Chains A and B, each alone.
Chain A
Amino acid sequence: METTKLPPSSPSSPTTSFSVPSAEKVDGFPRRSMRRARQRRSHSSSQFRYQSSQVELTPLPLLKDAPVAELHDLFCKKLQQCCVLFDFLDCVADLKGKEIKRAALNELVESVATSRGVLIEPLYPEAIKMISVNIFRTLPPSENPEFDPEEDEPTLEASWPHLQLVYEFFLRFLESPDFQPSMAKRYVDQKFVLQLLELFDSEDPREREYLKTILHRVYGKLLGLRAYIRKQINNIFLRFIYETEHFNGVAELLEILGSIINGFALPLKAEHKQFLVRVLIPLHTAKSLSIFHAQLAYCVVQFMEKDATVTEYIIRGLLKYWPKTCTQKEVMFLGEIEEILDVIEPSQFIRVQEPLFKQIAACISSPHFQVAERALYFWNNEYILSLIEENCQVILPLVFATLYRVSKEHWNQTIVSLIYNVLKTFMEMNSKLFDDLTASYKVEKQKEMKRERERADLWRGLEEHQDRRMQMLTEAARNQRNLQERGERGDPTTPSSPQTAHSDQPEPKPSGASSSSSGAGESAT
């Protein structure tokens, strides 16, 4: 049975987590502040497009004053009242109505959070309807098409004063001791969850924070939706990786998954392994990796801690997607590798040490000192060091040449001294092997150069051969044509060009003559 942990943080007071308003930050670039001012002005208005004629709200009596017999009825009326949407782009429009709705929402939140016995069955559809009407909307186009979550200020949701209270109500509703999953599941269905997931693309971090906690509660309480939620998250990620490269809520979804993975039953189901290999690992290729890398690495390590046998898939996956040009990402990868090595089982380590340390050696010789430095820090980690020591016979020969060369060549003094430390460590670990490698370094180097030369010679020889062959074939083709012109059948050699190959000299069908190339292959052997 799968279980879920409580989410890492609960946004009971989400406003505090979202700190200083952007306008108060000092910004040296006037253009950006201008742009921001514009963003401020123009928020989403999709929500109001289909709003039928605006209803005038009239304040209802307070819930706490209502007689018990009328409480549910009043609660229901307030829910209906809260289904009216207001235009927050125009900040002075219908202030009275906005205030009435705000007060009603506050009351609803409070009532659901504190009183017992409020949540009776007929209220479920009304509550879910109120939530749906308020939160489900097509997110507006981003004000800034090149929105960079690390650099730019997010566009904030204009209707947040109401929206926050609706989210708060939803959360309290789910957390209420009176909450009955069996009743809720009729209304919180797959369609509902799908719309909820789409909202994770919101640019407003406050909204995503609420969504994260809410989705986690839904996952925890409505067991029937779990598989569906996981599948839809998969789809969002796959779309993000292979189609759009844009989704604002990847970090939040990963955070939820982090706690879900923790509850996976053992042995891992094929579905979960597939998720690891085909979704989580490819997520590392995203351009915006830095935004969600911490959460992603957490998920990956969770998987390893669950089931050590996935280690090899993870490491080989990371090596496959190792960044080729982005040093910043390389540093992140190295960080993740260290997190993985921190918890790796020695038996698994042996399976991956060879390709892994080839990559580490490549990182050490990176001209970018942060990459080299990050890789060399592995030798400061005691557990990793012990793994290296146990497998010194394999690892030292893999990295020795690099260490030796880089210690002489690197431009950055810190790197050079770090390498000396590493070399010293190796010397202490296995002085015999170290001496052997030092002694053979020059010879190896020369051998390597010789191999290079041989390769070059090889290619040169081949190209010459190719030229000669082409020449011969052209000639043969010409002769053949001449012969044919004289009405004789020439002895066909392989012709010079693919066109002539077909027209002049039809290949005899191979005996097994069949369709697939496998058939043809068999006849060849």
Chain B
Amino acid sequence: MFGAVNALGEALVCQALHRGVKTQQRRREGPAAALLWQKPRSAAQQRHSVTAILSKMAGADGDDSLYPIAVLIDELRNEDVQLRLNSIKKLSTIALALGVERTRTELLPFLTDTIYDEDEVLLALAEQLGNFTMLVGGPEYVHCLLPPLESLATVEETVVRDKAVESLRKISQEHSPVDLEVHFEPLVKRLASGDWFTSRTSACGLFSVCYPRVSSTVKAEIRQHFRTLCSDDTPMVRRAAASKLGEFAKVLELDYVKSDIISLFTALASDEQDSVRLLAVEACVSIATLLPQEDLETLVMPTLRQAAEDKSWRVRYMVADKFSELQKAVGPEITKNDLVPAFQNLLKDCEAEVRAAAANKVKEFCENLPEDSREQIIMTHILPCVKELVSDTNQHVKSALASVIMGLSTILGKDNTIEHLLPLFLAQLKDECPEVRLNIISNLDCVNEVIGIRQLSQSLLPAIVELAEDAKWRVRLAIIEYMPLLAGQLGVEFFDEKLNTLCMAWLIDHVYAIREAATCNLMKLVEKFGAEWAQNTIVPKVLGMANDPNYLHRMTTLFCINALSEACGQDITTKQMLPVVLKMSNDQVANVRFNVAKSLQKIGPVLDSNALQTEVKPVLEKLATDTDMDVKYFAQEAISVLALA
């Protein structure tokens, strides 16, 4: 047996050799083009070309572990990207078989060499290498993974670069402090001083992972490099640095946060490009969290105030979007004095985008206000702005507000809600934009807790009816999804009186998605109101549709039965539903007939064995001889699933 394996092995090696030589020629013909103007590889790197691997392999003939690398070479050279991709994805298997030493000495240098490939292959490679530590021999050798990842971190394509950085961050944790200084940190430095922006961008993500575990001299160097990148010539690098500023601040000693980070933060926050400034806002959250309260006013607040009034709406948007985090980071005093007016301004901003972002934060902001002055601040400062937003010209602003406004009722309590908020809810329930109304309806539970839903029910009903008949089916779909919730809050009486008709009407909607959702809705209602309720109100109507001239409606009956049988229980299913289903097996339309088969399969488990044997079985057997092949198929399927054969 082993002889055969060895023979195969030799054949493989020969083939790989052959191909390898050819591909080498191919690469020699156009190396410049393949690499475009990438920096030339060092002599040391080049020594690890295919030749080295091949000569090794030729010497070690007969060794089992040679197959994988032979295949790898072969497949990596394949013209089909998909095949190359496949072999990269099997890289760990191959490394495992090669053993740790040969992975380090042959596979990795080889991979480092092939880095000019298509981005898709490179992405897979970058990802694989992040999980390679054990395959190269554990933390002791993890630095062997750095050369290929370093090259990948300089690639043009963002996804590849980001993945390489992610992998580098991951393996940085597996470096010993010494290795971190000897191998990892020099890599970061090389990237940080690379001449093309891609490598400098990648470097930004690596400072914070090595900083905590290196000596103070190296720390100083790292800080210096980060400083340089924050004032880089290209906005791409400054953006990358700004986005990592918060993360870097977190690993720095407090003194350096004050001396280094604050000046960088201030500089980035007043960058000439708004895309950089807005990233500084994000960093602001982390920085403010790190500093003691007494330093915030002088070190952070001037910049934050400036950002909240930035001339670019993108920066103001970012402030609005991060408002709750900022609020927590700066604490209650500054919130009262500074953030309340700033928030008011954002709610009144001239750009709808900013107002919508701020409107989204209304509830969270109010919730997090210091308790002693919460109500007063809301009533005198926030509520007036909220009132204006209810009649905003932009529907996104209104719908953002509608999605959170109900939450204010729990904060303000019953009396304030009735007096101040209720009129706003009612106004939004009548809004011209369906999304606004939907958002109000979907959050009714908050109000229900505070004032009870009855206060709203008079306005609620017209709003629901209108949404239920909206011309856009997605709106109808959305309201159907809230029906079970509404039914629970409004109670069975109100439901029967006002909403039941709507729920039945959806069953004959001309859009399938609505009919399907309506079916599902019925099931949830039955779960809520019980089988008896179902028997009296829903089941007769559903079964009545079985005689409808439109076959789509007849099928809806079947779909409803599928959904309801379990919730209704054996009795109703056997006595009321089953006869209807069985009768429908004679339908003229094949679609109905095969749905009968599917329904029988579905409700079978609910029936007792007697009904199955005497009633279901003959019908399915008849359907199994139907002229239509789909009917036959589903009938047979039902027979086998129900074990009636």
Q: Which residues of A come within 8 Å of B, CB atoms? A: 41-42, 45-46, 48-50, 138, 140-141, 191, 194, 235, 238-239, 242-243, 273-274, 277-278, 282, 312-313, 316-317, 320, 351, 458-459, 461-462, 465-466, 468-469, 494, 497-499, 501-502, 507, 510, 515-518, 520-525
Question: Given A138-B274, A502-B134, A521-B109, are A317 and B36 also a contact pair (CB < 8 Å)?
Answer: yes
Q: What would 28 A/B residue contacts be, using CB atoms closer than 8 Å?
A: A45-B351, A49-B350, A138-B313, A238-B236, A242-B156, A242-B236, A243-B239, A317-B36, A459-B71, A461-B8, A462-B71, A465-B64, A494-B99, A501-B134, A501-B138, A502-B137, A507-B141, A510-B104, A510-B105, A516-B143, A517-B105, A517-B112, A517-B147, A518-B42, A520-B104, A521-B47, A522-B47, A524-B105
Question: Given A48-B350, A138-B274, A312-B30, are A462 and B105 also a contact pair (CB < 8 Å)?
Answer: no
- Distance in angstroms between the alpha carbons of A517 and B104 in the assembled complex: 7
Does B637 reach chain A (CB closer than 8 Å)? no
Contact indicator A138/B5 (Cβ below 8 Å): no
Q: Which secondary structure dominates where chain A touches chain B?
A: helix
Residues of chain B within 8 A of A138, CB atoms compared = 274, 311-314
Shortest distance between the CB of B116 and any CB in chain A (Å):
9
Contact indicator B97/A466 (Cβ below 8 Å): yes
Contact indicator A141/B67 (Cβ below 8 Å): no
Q: Which residues of B come within 8 Å of A, CB atoms? A: 5, 8, 12, 30, 32-34, 36-37, 42, 44-45, 47-48, 52, 55-56, 64, 67-68, 71, 93, 96-97, 99-102, 104-106, 108-109, 112, 118, 134-135, 137-138, 141, 143-144, 146-147, 156-158, 182-183, 196-197, 234-236, 239, 272, 274-275, 311-314, 350-353, 393-394
**Of all chain A residues, which has the CB nearest B182?**
A515
Contact indicator A462/B68 (Cβ below 8 Å): yes
Supply 4 further A-B pairs (C-beta < 8 A) apart from A42-B352, A313-B36, A524-B102: A45-B350, A316-B36, A494-B99, A520-B104
Shortest distance between the CB of A228 and any CB in chain B (Å):
11
- Distance in angstroms between the alpha carbons of A238 and B197 in the assembled complex: 10
Contact indicator A525/B52 (Cβ below 8 Å): yes
Contact indicator B137/A141 (Cβ below 8 Å): no
Shortest distance between the CB of A456 and any CB in chain B (Å):
12
Contact indicator A525/B56 (Cβ below 8 Å): yes
- Distance in angstroms between the alpha carbons of A471 and B448 in the assembled complex: 64
- Distance in angstroms between the alpha carbons of A290 and B502 in the assembled complex: 48
Question: Given A465-B5, A466-B97, are A46 and B36 also a contact pair (CB < 8 Å)?
Answer: no
Shortest distance between the CB of B68 and any CB in chain A (Å):
7
Residues of chain B within 8 A of A282, CB atoms compared = 156
Residues of chain A within 8 A of B144, CB atoms compared = 516-517, 520
Q: Which secondary structure dominates where chain B touches chain A?
A: helix
Task: From the candidates B42, B47, B183, B313, name the one contacting A140 in the complex (CB within 8 A).
Answer: B313
Shortest distance between the CB of B108 and any CB in chain A (Å):
5
Shortest distance between the CB of A270 and any CB in chain B (Å):
8
Contact indicator A141/B350 (Cβ below 8 Å): no
Contact indicator A507/B97 (Cβ below 8 Å): no
Contact indicator A507/B100 (Cβ below 8 Å): yes
Task: From the candidates A49, A274, A494, A515, name the one contacting B37 in the complex (CB within 8 A).
Answer: A274
Residues of chain A within 8 A of B8, CB atoms compared = 461, 465
**Of all chain A residues, which has the CB nearest B93?**
A466
Question: Given A238-B236, A502-B137, are A518 and B44 also a contact pair (CB < 8 Å)?
Answer: yes
Shortest distance between the CB of B18 and any CB in chain A (Å):
13
Contact indicator B101/A469 (Cβ below 8 Å): no
Question: Given A50-B311, A313-B36, A499-B134, are A517 and B109 also a contact pair (CB < 8 Å)?
Answer: yes
Contact indicator B118/A320 (Cβ below 8 Å): yes
Question: Given A242-B156, A465-B67, A523-B105, are A273 and B37 also a contact pair (CB < 8 Å)?
Answer: yes
Contact indicator A278/B105 (Cβ below 8 Å): no
Shortest distance between the CB of B143 and any CB in chain A (Å):
6
Residues of chain B within 8 A of A498, CB atoms compared = 96, 134-135
Residues of chain A within 8 A of B37, CB atoms compared = 273-274, 277-278
Closest 4 A-B residue pairs measured CB to CB?
Answer: A498-B134, A524-B105, A502-B138, A518-B44
**Of all chain B residues, which has the CB nearest A320?**
B118
Residues of chain A within 8 A of B33, CB atoms compared = 312-313, 316
Residues of chain B within 8 A of A45, CB atoms compared = 350-351
